Structure 1
Amino acid sequence: MLQSKARITAIGSYVPERVMTNEDLEKLVETNDEWIVKRTGIKERRIAEDTEFTSDLAYRAALNLMERFSKSLEDVDLIIVSTLTPDYRTPSVASRLQAKLGIKQTGAFDLNAACAGFTYGLHVANGLITAGLNKKILIVGAETISKITDYTDRTTCILFGDGAGAALVEYDEQNPSFLSAHLGSNGESAINLYGTNIATQMDGEELISNGHLVQNGREVYKWAVTTVPKGMKAVTEKFGIDLSNVDWFVPHSANLRMIESICDRTSFPIERTLNSLVNYGNTSAATIPLALDIGVREEKLKKDDLVLLYGFGGGLAHCGQLIKWNLDE
């Protein structure tokens, strides 16, 4: 991996005001709070209003970043939004965000790597800045998963929520954030987690074509708890350290039991993991930035901490990033 010349300088987040508790879900499907908490660890999630869309959440997360870190985004030269729930097929959420922020001269595109989207976005931003093609990139992981959730399917509707997290990545050759990365995909198993658009078949198999997320939770779980531990090892070995040297592990917040299993298989202390799922549920591309923001607000993340981010999900795609935590004060 080339020596990075990029640093994460600021973060921000936003979640909708509306709260959906486990008790609320009891009124929709056959479930209960004890069953949900035991299997997922989730207590509640945030739900966007009917008139609130992914670009709105992304905008509010960017505003939060600017307010907290006294940052200007006027000179951002690229916006990347990681999402699987865009407002429209086109224009992109990133283009809508550019308009809302009033940035006149910037590139903008969406990236869809589902729940691994934020880590993929960071990887792209680091590469572009290190290559000298960009100087200042805004990355946002934003989702309104509630709009594609089937609230008659108790195996999926208990999981998902809405939210957004933003990060600013800037040129800094002297004190870069990015240390190593590992990416992969298992497209052969993509049928285990999908939402239909135009195609009605995948590899000859008929799909449930209702636009909702469809998941074979058991198969995704098995894939994640075997793939992520191997990826974590690959990321740290590329940087020449042992996993025990990592200060914080921030996995995609899919399911608390899944995170516990990954930690058990890698002997990584669960006390040194950050997640956002207890109060926000699975927000796909937004889970990792939301978890990082929780770490900042609770004063857990310290300057120069080694932080291992690992996104994984639909695709089935995954991406790990080892970073040094060195945001602007």
Structure 2
Amino acid sequence: MVFSKILGATHKVPKTIVTNDDLAQIMETSDDWIQSHIGIKERRMSLEGENTSQLATDVALELVEQTNTKPEEIDLIIVATFTPDSLAPATAAIIQKELKAKNAWAFDLNTACSGFMSALSTADKFIQSGQYKKVLVIASDVNSKMLDFKDRTSSVFFGDGAGGVLLGTGNQPQFINENLYTVDDQDLIYSGRVNTIDDLSVDNYPSIGAFHQHGRGVYQQVVSTIPSYIESFLAKNELTVDDIDYYVTHQANLRLIEKLAELIHQPIDKFSRNVEYYGNTSAAGMAIGLAQLMNSEVDLTGKKVLLVGFGAGFTYGCVLLQF
């Protein structure tokens, strides 16, 4: 049987740092309020023209270099994003061109903030099929281009970034189990709604809606659903929360991650965190968290890592890895 193995992991963020004080210059907010409520100190934003594909391409280039992989060896590129460069072509297709990965099939996948987990799960199936040997899985979001900066309840959360892994084949299972869900609560978070036309007119031109979230509703959905779900998922795998060495969750905000840790009675040090300095980077946050963990000084040999995703849709789930 063919098993998936993570061969390498990395991440990229824009150069421009946007502090809470910077945001306070354009909206009614403050550093004290933002840090006390959501725990974010600063975020990176693509104010120098970096689009979703550019951040993702930088990740792809570093992954092939890090793993000594030739671009033509890549069989598949999956990009998780809900802020693509365009609806067509796919952001993954742009990466395929820039990488010169001439043998790769490429497509985008959108489950919003849980996108990296969904893309990783999808890539694992392609590897298991035996037809695909090396798969790039990249999560990249430039949230800043979708924000309404008059909506301070949403815009203070977000930053831009990308992260990803290169999957290959291994002799032992690294992907132990998974469970993914979608529930019908579509109005908690939405972005990029495309308006229909009212009549046939030369004045009609496509328009797209900004990002919006019902913050309190999202918080309540997560704290009421995710802790018990984690415990149930682990129990089905004959594990408890104490058996997990590290948790990599969606980087929604620091206070929410702290609450999840509290509700499952786990130390916060077990949770990979980047939201304090990168902001909520949507699908990229989990990918960045996993890359930071894998590239740290921690020896992951034999360790169990639980990916916990949740996002617009409403989507949520877990992927259990053992290194």
Q: Give the distance between the partners of 2:65 and 2:222, measured in 1 at CA.
A: 36
Q: Give the distance between the partners of 1:175 and 1:11, measured in 2 at CA.
A: 19
Query: Residue 2 of structure 2 contacts residue 169 of structure 2 at CA under 8 Å; is this kept in 1?
Result: no
Residue type matched to 2:194 in 1?
I
Secondary structure of 1:52's match?
coil
2:284 aligned to which of 283, 286, 299: 286
Q: Give the distance between the partners of 1:310 and 1:249, measured in 2 at CA.
A: 7
2:230 aligned to which of 208, 229, 232: 232
Corresponding residue of 1:190:
186
**Cα deviation, residue 94, structure 1:** 0.5
Corresponding residue of 1:205:
none
**1:124-273 equivalences in 2 (<5 Å):** 124-172=122-170, 174-187=171-184, 189-199=185-195, 211-273=209-271
1:105 aligned to which of 86, 103, 109: 103
Secondary structure of 1:191's match?
coil
Q: Matched residue pairs, number?
A: 313
Residue type matched to 1:282 in 2?
N
Deviations 1:171-195 (A, max 9, x none): 22x22210011111112x1111101
Corresponding residue of 2:201:
none
Q: In the superposition, relative to structure 1, how do residues 166 and 129 fare at CA in structure 2: closer, same or farther (>3 Å)?
A: same
Query: Residue 31 of structure 1 contacts residue 154 of structure 1 at CA under 8 Å; is this kept in 2?
Result: yes
Residue type matched to 1:219 in 2?
G
Secondary structure of 1:295's match?
helix
Q: Give the distance between the partners of 2:304 and 2:9, measured in 1 at CA.
A: 17
Query: Residue 13 of structure 1 contacts residue 65 of structure 1 at CA under 8 Å; is this kept in 2?
Result: no
Q: Give the distance between the partners of 2:76 and 2:23, measured in 1 at CA.
A: 39
**Cα deviation, residue 301, structure 1:** 5.2
Deviations 1:207-230 (A, max 9, x none): xx8621111001111111122213
Secondary structure of 1:303's match?
coil
TM-score (norm 1): 0.91
Residue type matched to 1:198 in 2?
V
Query: Residue 182 of structure 1 contacts residue 231 of structure 1 at CA under 8 Å; is this kept in 2?
Result: no
**Cα deviation, residue 234, structure 1:** 3.4
Deviations 1:279-329 (A, max 9, x none): 10000010011112222343235222100011111111112111013xxxx
Unaligned runs of 5+ in 2: 197-206
TM-score (norm 2): 0.92
Residue type matched to 1:226 in 2?
S
Query: Residue 22 of structure 1 contacts residue 44 of structure 1 at CA under 8 Å; is this kept in 2?
Result: yes
Query: Residue 14 of structure 1 contacts residue 61 of structure 1 at CA under 8 Å; is this kept in 2?
Result: yes
Corresponding residue of 1:118:
116
Q: In the superposition, relative to structure 1, how do residues 4 and 152 fare at CA in structure 2: closer, same or farther (>3 Å)?
A: farther
Corresponding residue of 2:296:
298
Query: Residue 9 of structure 2 contacts residue 294 of structure 2 at CA under 8 Å; is this kept in 1?
Result: no
Residue type matched to 2:169 in 1?
Y
Residue type matched to 1:183 in 2?
L
Residue type matched to 2:61 in 1?
L
Deviations 1:77-101 (A, max 9, x none): 1110000001011000000000000
**Cα deviation, residue 4, structure 1:** 6.8
Q: Give the distance between the partners of 2:166 and 2:232, measured in 1 at CA.
A: 26
**Cα deviation, residue 133, structure 1:** 3.6
Query: Residue 165 of structure 2 contacts residue 291 of structure 2 at CA under 8 Å; is this kept in 1?
Result: no
Corresponding residue of 1:307:
305
Q: In the superposition, relative to structure 1, how do residues 45 and 83 fare at CA in structure 2: closer, same or farther (>3 Å)?
A: same
1:51 aligned to which of 49, 61, 69: 49
Residue type matched to 2:191 in 1?
G
Corresponding residue of 1:7:
5
Q: Give the distance between the partners of 1:276 and 1:137, measured in 2 at CA.
A: 25
Residue type matched to 1:181 in 2?
E
Query: RMSD across aligned C-alpha pairs, in angstroms?
Result: 1.7
Q: In the superposition, relative to structure 1, how do residues 312 and 165 fare at CA in structure 2: closer, same or farther (>3 Å)?
A: same
Residue type matched to 2:160 in 1?
D
User: Identity of counterpart residues, as a percentage?
Assistant: 37
